[in-house]
Amino acid sequence: MSFTTISFLTFCIVFFAGHALLRGRARGYWLLLASAFFYGSWDVRFLALLVGSVFVDFFVALAVARAEGVRRKRLLLISIGFNLGVLAFFKYAGFFVASASELLTRLGVANSAPALEIVLPVGISFYTFQTLSYTVDVYRKRLPACRDLLDFALYVMFFPQLVAGPIERAERLLPQMRAVSREPWRPDLSGLALIALGLFKKIALADGVRAYTDAFSAPDRAFPAALWFATYAFAFQIYWDFSGYSDVAIGLARLLGVELMSNFRAPYAATGPSDFWRRWHISLSEWLRDYLYIPLGGNRGSALRTQRNLLLTMLLGGLWHGAAWHFVLWGAFHGLLLCAARALAERWPGWRQLAARPWLRPLQALVFFHITCLGWALFRAQTLEACFQSWHKLLLFEGLQLRPWLAHLAELQELAPVYVCLALFASAWLLQYLQPRSTKDLVVQVWGWPLLPRALAVASLAYLAMLLAPLKPPAFIYFQF
């Protein structure tokens, strides 16, 4: 049941009607039931797996809070072992078996490894990281263990962000889940504008450029110009697709009186690799920093150890995105960028002062955007061979063929009104984040307009989304992770 379907609209109408009628803990149980139904609509078999994660981490965290010494660590290992074990089996078992079999074959060793066809539970990468962070925080004594199973179940199963994040921390979301079943309902109606914006990004923009990334299907036969065009198209497709999901999730949460963290902050305005990861998929970046990079040692110790920690963190971050070597290569690419930027700053102390000059920031953003696009070519490719073929075409640029560019530009004329709207939104967002004047996001500011222009803005987004919607909207890209 995707956000872009009529069935989800029907689900929301029924859910919010019930939510408005109920009071107290009945409202919390209604939200939990709705979240279970929402997740079960994808594949009811995996609902038991989600519920199992809730029970294991709830009771393990209670035991950790009471335990002392070595027993605390052993209990923590139960949570880590369960969460990562489940994730490893469903997401990586087939990948590692196939990779080992291929390696043995290349070495000339006969083998008959079985081809494992394991269905990946939707959202498992997201809710596993969320529950794991809670147990670790209780172990570190950063927050007390939750003693109400309903509150904790809502923290894990909250349907707006259950399938594709943001990956919330218990210290932020748990108190809000308690409020849902204990305090009067105070919806923030700016969520309606965020939902409209998110659907517009997904349906009108991300799905609109989806067809222009086809060159990645056969990079060896694609013109270099067509491949560059496909690379740019995918860079914007994945941003509109994932940030669109995040906008809808945050908007739905606001209608329930819950504030989720922002997952994107003008990522293509980033001036370097560190800046990019402070702007892109922020909840995952912060999770990797706090629960992987810092425990590995962070920037404590020698420069070489810091570089190792950065590279290892990004390698595992790439693997988190999918069980395939091209995701590992994409993680290595960003890890090497982070290492190179850190080494440059350490060897040339004046670089930070130079890079901080305002007049240089647009040039840095433009250069790094193209570097980021090279990384997206690795992300979008399906195999290592396709990665190398794509980069060969992109970097060597074997001649300039204008025909593919002109053909694509002619096709894009049909979407001209949409991209005018996009340019206006992009300009507003860049102004907000490059020269911030308010702590409120742009949607909240727009919601403060008079009723007529506010209604026209939301209605226009909704109308364009419906007008340009394909008959069968594809799933959000990050559902596969």
Which spans in 113-166 are helix H? 124-139, 149-157, 159-162
Handedness of CA 448, 452, 453, 454 (dihedral sign): positive
Q: Helix axis angle, 361-380 relative to 224-255, nearest 10°?
A: 100
Six token digits for residue 12: 């929301």
Give yes or no: 321 in active site. Answer: yes
User: Which residues lie closer than 8 Å to 287 by C-beta, 6 or more apart?
Assistant: 129, 133, 167
Q: Which of these is catalytic: 19, 281, 321, 334?
A: 321
What is the end-to-end Cα distance of the chain in Å, rounded? 16
Asked if residue 296 lies in contact with residue 313, where contact means CB atoms within 8 angstroms, the answer is yes
User: Which residues lie closer than 8 Å to 71 by C-beta, 6 or more apart?
Assistant: none
Q: CB-based burial of residue 408 (10 Å sphere; 0-12 exposed, 13-18 middle, 19+ buried)?
A: middle
For residue 370, the number of C-alpha atoms closer than 13 Å in the C-beta half-sphere is 8
Q: Which residue has the tokens 């609209």?
A: 9
Asked if residue 131 lies in contact with residue 156, where contact means CB atoms within 8 angstroms, the answer is yes
Q: How far apart are CA 106 and CA 170, in angstroms?
A: 46
Which spans in 381-450 are helix H? 384-396, 402-412, 416-434, 442-447
User: Which residues lie closer than 8 Å to 336 by C-beta, 6 or more apart?
Assistant: 311
Residue 257: what residue type? G
Q: What are phi and psi of 360, to 5 degrees?
A: -90, -15
Asked if residue 148 lies in contact with residue 58, where contact means CB atoms within 8 angstroms, the answer is no
Active site residues: 321
